[in-house]
Amino acid sequence: MPADHSGLSSPSLPHRAAVALGAAALALGLAAPPALAQGKPIRIGVPTAMQLQVGRDTQDAIKLAIDDINAKGGVLGRKLEMVVADETENPETGISAIKKLTADEKVDVLVGGYTSGVTLAQLPHISAAKTIYLGVGAASPAITQKVKQDYDNYKYIFRVGPINAANQARELTGFIANFVKGELGISKIAIVGENAKWVQDLVPVLKKGATDAGADIRVTEFFDTQTADFSPLFSKVKDSGAQYLVVILSHASSDTFAKQWYDSRFPMPYGGIDVKSMDGDFCDRIGAKSVGQMAANFAVRAPLTPRTIPFFDEFKKATRRSPVYTAFGANDAVYIYADAVKRAGSTDTAKVIKELEKTNYMGIPGVIQFDEMHDVKPGNASYKGPSFLLAQWRDGCKREVVYPKTQRTADFKYPSWIKQ
Amino acid sequence: MLEILIVGAVSSAIYAMLAVGFTLIFGVARVLNLAHGSFYALGAYGAYWLTSSLKWPLLPAALASIGAVALFGVAVERVFVRPMRSSQLAVLMITLAVALVVEQALFLTFGSEYRNVPGFVDAKVTIGGVDVAGSRLLALAVSVVVIAALWLFIQHTRLGSAILAISQDAQAAQYVGIPSDRIFSVVMGISAGLAAAAGILAGPFLSVQPTMWLLPIVKAFAIVVVGGLGSIPGSIVAALMLGYAETIVAYAASTSWTEIVSVLATLLMLVVRPAGIFGRRAAF
Amino acid sequence: MLRHRLDLAAAAVLVGAMAVLPLVFPSNYLIGVLTVSAIYGIWAVSWDFMSGLTGRENFGHSLFIGVGAYTAGFLNTSFGANPWWSLPAAMVVSVLFALLIGLPTLRLKGPYFALAMLSGSVIMQRLMLIFWEHTGGEEGINGLAPLIRSQLGFYYFVLGTLVATTVVLLALARSHWGLILRAVRGDEATCQAAGINVTFYKIASLVISAACAGAGGAMYAHYQLQVSPQLFAVVTSITIITMVYVGGMGTIYGPVGGAILLVLATELLREFGEWRLMVYSCALILILFFLPTGLVAPLWQRLRGLLRRKGKDPLVPVAADVMEQQA
């Protein structure tokens, strides 16, 4: 090349040819013939709280389902693939996660969710993106109410799990009526819940149901999610004369609550909805101080359905952890979506929604069907849908199902320091 | 009533440990170290890791953790704080960034779940009909001892006099030959050690998770300002006031109102007497 | 003056780029990120106008943001008002709060002022949670109507507001207002001795800052279509202060760059998955450590200096420039 002192050099011929070839390749790539689109993978967007256990388990459960489906040939000849976006517990990040997945990554379906507040914030943006959303972690009834109020805009929203807070309240009422009063003979009850909207909506229903069943609700207290010191709360509960403490905890410091209950040898047993207590290692994490606590679980390693035990074992084998509740919904959601797409014959949103509404799938916690609000139907005496079981932590950090009686694996045992 | 007295005392003790360290570094170096909360978190996590992963017994684990965090504090001072000392805001911002990095490191290493710091004492104690966890009483006792020891150290040793001198007039202290830079590092180490000890004492009965640094630092900030920036007795008094105010409100009304009461009290104090209880001129 | 022309040219290029970007890369995601960054820009610029110039760092800026947003939320959902009423209403309410907290804390500065303002925002956050029956508690108010249906249209509206706000505040900062505010930072007592009504200027700058922040809050509410107590959080205030710092305190235009940069960074770093915030914090430490006067403004000043030397204008005599160097 001739010496050039201007600091610039004109591209030489081979250089230009390379650029032209590159441009041609790009053009070809962008204008891929439609026939190739058939093999294009189906993309599942996962908005979840990546740094939390619920987020990790959501991703791992989806991965298990995807690997299984892909190994069997995929869906309509197309493989499934997963794209994750962190929604944290902050609505702002949650909304931008939805936008990233729908507008940027152009996913075909969304599976995920955890905090009700974040999910509620995301709804209008999911609707604007006209993408199907299968919720696996948020329990607020408000999420699916929109489906009924404004079907055209919100028909994309489904909840695969957990059963919504109102249903959970009903189950908890049953627990109080049939077990706490019915079997233990305790009618003086205290209710303590964290300051979250779904809890605040749930408690009045709970109180009414329990009172109708003959329970005497001595005190109802809400506390801030960030509370680290529960002594004032414990003191109030003790002074009220209650003999059983019903709790409703999700984001709050359940670990600290259990530790303080144990450390002060609080003179009454406690139990109820405690999301963190669903973690397999909850009891170990706090030095076995939750032994005696009864916590609701949406599924445990028991033959609730033919899917339950195989899933628990597969999950444990792949991740060496015990799955938390979002894993059940996530895993089921992938299969449910895949089946709906197969039946619809394409990923066309409207067709898939029609098929999703007809879902009848043997899931992990129970049979999964959707009601008119696209909300998972809870189980009852005649229908084997998901419900919840109350399991008690026992010595050695083992869990035994105590309620309902039909699923009982062991009898209730009082905490060691309570004489009964 | 007795219960409020005891629980309030325990809260105040933990707050005092945190506030004293925070005010110490301000009094001496005139910087607000937002990474102080990170020292608290690291103390707790250090003890957790040593006892659960390396299976050390509790006392050596606690001491090692405090020592390590103290050294970390010195390192933070040397590397991040010293070059920025000319601007208070710059130190604020960079120590904040350090706190964020520590939080993320804890998230990535230990996960988001609450971790368990074992307590020295497992038993329950009953005082006058009130059930108190043994670990809480221990926290109270140790805090009192440690703060008293710090006070004696400052009043009766050469190093302590040097610290006093610098807090009163940094330039004059340098004129008489006190190596102020070295003293800053030492004070930072002491301050970090105090925070770590608070974390280890409170760990058994409070929450140990990666974001545990934020709330304590906001509270420590409020206490220190109300007590008088740079004044140790001020911090102790303010810590007692805050601890008891929160406890009384929690018992009388509801835990939801505790934070408002303490924050409102802080705001009122700032409007009425910004220099704090003991004023900002009086260092110790 | 070439200097002003260069400033204008750079501003035009930046605004032009921001306006054209979503047309070149049509994506709701990109528009979303740019919209949020523009709103943060409004918040950052309003913070800088008060705190950057007077040196009284306001650690409770989220108070005005939250108050503006919740006003929008209540007006739109409880009273069914047209979303366009939210903007002036939010500004009025923010101004009221500014007076409420600004008047008692007049004589405070440094960490005392910071803490007082912080307390204000914390109290409001708590109140939103305590009165959950009326405010929706943790989940906040949902179902707000968008201001402008079209995503792109709303983005241009926000961008326009950002430009207008920056221009106005910059003009104020360069006028005798800015001079007085900076003098207050230097030596308040002397200012008062010189007969300047320091109280008026301190309150006025806080009020202006609050009004802009409140309007930004209302816009944010009608964009996210929901309002939550997290808007009042300490973290929000600190994020904004970080943006101003990275942009260059006291420069007014720097914080805009800082806001856009940091919002884009948090999104671009999604590649790192779990490590996103770690990378972000480490980058922040590096910036804070090596660039204590910020990134955006000093960079621009350096660039401008280089361009000027290549231009025809000789360097202007030092005296007239000295005051301008500040801004």
CA distance B58 to A70: 50
In a domain, B243, yes or no: no
Q: Which of A114-123, A147-156, A194-203, B13-22 has the lowest mean pLDDT?
A: A194-203
Q: Does the pLDDT value for residue A400 go beyond 60?
A: yes
Contact indicator for C93, C244 with CB cutoff of 8 Å? no
In this complex, the residue of C107, C288, C292 whose CB is nearest that of residue B97 is: C288
Task: Give residue C316's pLDDT.
Answer: 54
State the pLDDT confidence band at B70, using cuts at 50, 70 and 90: very high
Q: Which residues pair with A47 in a beta bridge?
A: A85
In this complex, the residue of A52, A53, A285 whose CB is nearest that of residue B116 is: A285
Nearest-CA distance A113 → chain C (Å):
14
Chain C adjacent subunits, 3+ CB pairs under 8 A? A, B
Alpha helices in B111-169 (DSSP H): 134-156, 158-168
Task: Give residue A341's pLDDT.
Answer: 95
Q: Which residues pair with A220 in a beta bridge?
A: A191
Record the pTM: 0.85
Q: Which of A125-134, A325-334, A385-394, C90-99 has the lowest mean pLDDT?
A: A385-394
| Pick from A192, A179, A188, A277: nearest CA to A232 | A192
Average pLDDT over chain A reads: 86
The stretch A272-276 carries a mean pLDDT of 91
Residues whose CB falls within 8 Å of the CB of residue C38, separated by 6 or more in sequence, listed in order: C18, C155, C158, C159, C161, C162, C260
State the pLDDT confidence band at B119, using cuts at 50, 70 and 90: confident
Q: Does the pLDDT value for residue A238 go beyond 70?
A: yes
Q: Does the pLDDT value for residue C313 go beyond 70?
A: no
Q: Does the pLDDT value for residue B212 go beyond 60?
A: yes
Q: Does the pLDDT value for residue C116 go beyond 80?
A: yes
Report CA dihedral (B169, B172, B174, B179) to the nearest 10 degrees. Answer: -40
Contact indicator for B153, B160 with CB cutoff of 8 Å? yes
In a domain, B215, yes or no: no
The stretch A3-23 carries a mean pLDDT of 44
Percentage above 70 pLDDT, chain A: 91
Q: Express each pLDDT in C142-158 by its tens digit.
A: 889 898 888 899 999 99
Q: Is the dihedral of CA A274, A280, A283, A286 positive or negative?
A: negative
Which of A85-94, B35-44, B206-215: highest mean pLDDT? Answer: B35-44
Nearest-CA distance A366 → chain B (Å):
28
Neighbours of A247 (CB within 10 A): 25
Task: Give residue B179's pLDDT.
Answer: 87
Nearest-CA distance C129 → chain B (Å):
8
| Pick from A370, A199, A175, A398: nearest CA to A282 | A398
> CATH class for domain C2-315?
mainly alpha
Interface of C with B (CB under 8 A): 57, 104-105, 107-108, 110-112, 115-116, 118-120, 122-123, 126-127, 129-130, 234, 238, 241-242, 245, 249, 274-275, 277-278, 281-282, 284-285, 288-289, 292
Q: Is B204 in contact with A263 (Cβ distance < 8 A)?
A: yes
Q: Does the pLDDT value for residue A36 go beyond 50?
A: no
Q: Express each pLDDT in C248-275 by its tens digit.
A: 988 889 999 999 999 999 888 888 888 8
Nearest-CA distance A229 → chain B (Å):
7
Neighbours of A386 (CB within 10 A): 27
Q: Does the pLDDT value for residue C64 go beyond 90?
A: yes
Task: Give residue C47's pLDDT.
Answer: 96
List the single best residue of A58, A223, A229 to mutate versus B (max B Cβ within 10 A): A229
Q: Is C270 in contact with A86 (Cβ distance < 8 A)?
A: yes
Q: Is C111 in contact with B32 (Cβ distance < 8 A)?
A: yes
In this complex, the residue of C122, C277, C285 whose CB is nearest that of residue B94 is: C285
Encode burial over C82-100: b for 16+ CB neighbours within 10 A, e otherwise. Answer: ebeebbebbbebbbebbee
In chain C, where the domains are located? 2-315
Q: Does the pLDDT value for residue A23 go beyond 50?
A: no
Q: Does the pLDDT value for residue A316 go beyond 80?
A: yes
Nearest-CA distance C29 → chain A (Å):
5
Tokens in use for C132? 């959950």
CA distance A395 to C204: 66
Percentage above 90 pLDDT, chain A: 54
Residue for token pair 């200097």: C3
Q: Does the pLDDT value for residue B136 go beyond 80?
A: yes
Q: Does the pLDDT value for residue A420 go beyond 70?
A: no
Tokens in use for A186? 């305790």
Query: Which residues of chain C does A119 touch, with a Cβ-Cβ cutoff of 8 Å?
Result: none
Give the distance, in angstroms, between the CA of residue A338 and the centroid of all CA atoms in the same chain.
19
Residue for token pair 């060691």: A416
Residues whose CB falls within 8 Å of the CB of residue A110, separated by 6 or more in sequence, listed in order: A44, A45, A46, A47, A98, A101, A102, A126, A131, A132, A133, A134
Find, in chain A, the residue whose alpha carbon is nearest to that of B116. A286
Task: Give residue A7's pLDDT.
Answer: 37
Task: Give residue B272's pLDDT.
Answer: 86
Task: Give residue B284's pLDDT.
Answer: 36
The stretch C289-315 carries a mean pLDDT of 79
| Pick from C85, C62, C94, C78: nearest CA to C142 | C78
Q: Does the pLDDT value for residue A245 go beyond 90?
A: yes
Contact indicator for C146, C83 with CB cutoff of 8 Å? yes
State the pLDDT confidence band at A29, using cuts at 50, 70 and 90: very low
Contact indicator for A110, A126 with CB cutoff of 8 Å? yes
CA distance C190 to A209: 70
Q: Does the pLDDT value for residue B232 go beyond 90?
A: no
Q: Can you give chain A as a three-state secondary structure string? A: CCCCCCCCCCCCHHHHHHHHHHHHHHHHHHCCCHHHHCCCCEEEEEEECCCCHHHHHHHHHHHHHHHHHHHCCCECCECEEEEEEECCCCHHHHHHHHHHHHHHCCCCEEEECCCHHHHHHHHHHHHHCCCEEEECCCCCCHHHHHHHHCHHHHCCEEECCCCCHHHHHHHHHHHHHHHHHCCCCCCEEEEEEECCHHHHHHHHHHHHHHHHCCCEEEEEEEECCCCCCCHHHHHHHHHCCCCEEEEEECCCCHHHHHHHHHHCCCCCCEEEEEHHHHCCCHHHHCCCCCCCCEEEECCCCCCCCCCHHHHHHHHHHHHCCCCCHHHHHHHHHHHHHHHHHHHHCCCCHHHHHHHHHCCCEECCCCEECECCCCEECCCECCECCCCCEEEEEEHHHEEEEEECHHHCCCCCCCCCCCCC
Number of domains in chain B: 1
Task: Give residue C3's pLDDT.
Answer: 66
Residue for token pair 């805090």: B143
Nearest-CA distance C274 → chain A (Å):
6
| Pick from A168, A89, A196, A161: nearest CA to A375 | A161
Q: Which residues pair with A370 in a beta bridge?
A: A376
Residues whose CB falls within 8 Å of the CB of residue A35, separated by 6 or more in sequence, listed in order: none
Task: Give residue B280's pLDDT.
Answer: 58
Q: Which domain holds residue B93?
A: 2-210
In this complex, the residue of A90, A99, A123 whose CB is nearest that of residue C29 is: A99
Q: Does the pLDDT value for residue A4 go beyond 70?
A: no
Q: Given the cut 0.90, state whether the ipTM is greater than it.
A: no
Residue for token pair 């925002």: C121
Which of A227-241, B61-75, C296-310: highest mean pLDDT? Answer: B61-75
State the pLDDT confidence band at A38, using cuts at 50, 70 and 90: low
Q: What are phi and psi of A367, to 5 degrees?
A: -75, 135
Residue for token pair 């003293």: B183
Q: Is C138 in contact with A225 (Cβ distance < 8 A)?
A: yes
State the pLDDT confidence band at B67, using cuts at 50, 70 and 90: very high
Of residues A18 and C58, more confidence is placed in C58
Q: Can you give B13-78 as a three-state secondary structure string? A: HHHHHHHHHHHHHHHHHCCCCCCHHHHHHHHHHHHHHHHHCCCCCHHHHHHHHHHHHHHHHHHHHH
CA distance C186 to C201: 14
Residues whose CB falls within 8 Å of the CB of residue A54, separated by 6 or more in sequence, listed in order: A48, A114, A137, A324, A325, A326
The stretch B249-276 carries a mean pLDDT of 82
Task: Give residue C74's pLDDT.
Answer: 94
Report CA dihedral (B40, B43, B47, B53) to the nearest 10 degrees. Answer: 100
In one-letter notation, the amino acid at residue A38 is: Q
Q: Please tell me if residue B111 touches chain A, with a CB cutoff of 8 Å.
A: yes
Task: Give residue A123's pLDDT.
Answer: 94
| Pick from C252, C242, C234: nearest CA to C284 | C242
Task: Give residue A3's pLDDT.
Answer: 41
Residues whose CB falls within 8 Å of the CB of residue B226, separated by 6 or more in sequence, listed in order: B234, B238, B241, B242, B265, B266, B269, B270, B276, B277
Nearest-CA distance C81 → chain A (Å):
19
Q: Does the pLDDT value for residue C76 go beyond 70?
A: yes
Task: Give residue B189's pLDDT.
Answer: 94
Average pLDDT over chain C reads: 88
Helix (H, G, I), strand (E, B) or coil at C316: coil
Q: Which of A138-152, A290-304, B26-40, B248-262 has the lowest mean pLDDT?
A: B248-262
Q: Please tell me if residue B166 touches chain A, with a CB cutoff of 8 Å.
A: no
Q: Which of residues 211-230 of A touch C (CB under 8 A)?
A: 224-225
Percentage above 70 pLDDT, chain B: 98
In one-letter notation, the amino acid at residue A146 is: K
Q: Is B263 in contact with C275 (Cβ distance < 8 A)?
A: no
Sheet of A398-403, strand order: A216-223, A188-194, A244-249, A270-274, A294-297, A389-394, A398-403
Tokens in use for A199? 């809890």
A221 phi-psi bin (left φ>0, alpha ψ -120 to 50, beta other): beta
Tokens in use for B81? 């704080």
The stretch C14-35 carries a mean pLDDT of 90
CA distance B213 to B215: 6
Contact indicator for B106, B210 with CB cutoff of 8 Å? yes
State the pLDDT confidence band at B224, using cuts at 50, 70 and 90: confident
CA distance B177 to B162: 10
Q: Please tell me if residue A201 touches chain C, with a CB cutoff of 8 Å.
A: no
Task: Give residue B269's pLDDT.
Answer: 85
Half-sphere exposure of B108 (CA within 13 A, CB side): 14
B121 phi-psi bin (left φ>0, alpha ψ -120 to 50, beta other): beta
The stretch C180-192 carries a mean pLDDT of 87
Q: Which domains does chain A have, with CATH numbers?
A: 40-163+304-368 (3.40.50.2300), 165-297+388-407 (3.40.50.2300)
Tokens in use for A201? 């909506």
State the pLDDT confidence band at C311, using cuts at 50, 70 and 90: low
The stretch B110-126 carries a mean pLDDT of 82
DSSP character at residue C65: H
Find, in chain B, the residue whose alpha carbon is nearest to that of C55. B89
Query: Which residues of chain B does C289 touch, with a Cβ-Cβ cutoff of 8 Å?
Result: 80, 83-84, 94
Chain B adjacent subunits, 3+ CB pairs under 8 A? A, C
Task: Kindly list the distances between the CA atom of residue A106 and the CA atoms of A69, C13, C29, in Å, as whole numbers in the listed order.
Answer: 21, 31, 10
Q: Does the pLDDT value for residue A31 go beyond 60?
A: no
Task: Give residue A90's pLDDT.
Answer: 87
The stretch B40-61 carries a mean pLDDT of 91
Contact indicator for C202, C191 with CB cutoff of 8 Å? no
Task: Give residue C38's pLDDT.
Answer: 96
The stretch B79-83 carries a mean pLDDT of 89
Contact indicator for A134, A336 with CB cutoff of 8 Å? yes
Task: Give residue C99's pLDDT.
Answer: 95
In this complex, the residue of C32, C139, C273 whose CB is nearest that of residue A99 is: C32
